[in-house]
Amino acid sequence: METRIIVDSCTDVNEYVKDMFDTVPLTILVDDEEIVDDNLDIYFLLDKIKKSKFSLKTACPSPGEYYDALKKYKNSFIVTLSNKLSGSYNSALAACKMAAENLPDSFAHVFDSKSASVAQSMISIKIHDLINQNLPNEDIVSLTNHYIEKLKTLFILESYEHLAKAGRLSKIKASFATFMHICPIMGANQVGEIEVIDKVRGKKKAFDRLVQLIGEHEVDFENTILGITHVNAIEKAESLKNDILSHYPFKDVMIFEARGISTVYADDGGIVIAF
CA-nearest of 248, 250, 268, 249 to 258 is 268
**Average pLDDT, 10 consecutive residues per value, the chain (275 residues):** 94 96 97 93 94 88 98 97 96 97 96 98 98 97 98 87 52 43 86 91 94 97 98 98 98 98 93 98
pLDDT of residue 167: 52
Residue-wise over 82-111: b if at least 16 C-beta within 10 A, else e? bbbbbbbbebbbbbbebbeeebeebbbbbb
CA-nearest of 192, 206, 112, 203 to 152 is 192
pLDDT of residue 174: 42
> Out of 1.10.490.10, 2.40.50.100, 1.10.3720.10, 3.40.50.10170, which CATH number does the structure's domain 3-150 have?
3.40.50.10170
Domain positions in the chain: 3-150, 153-274
CATH of domain 153-274: 3.30.1180.10
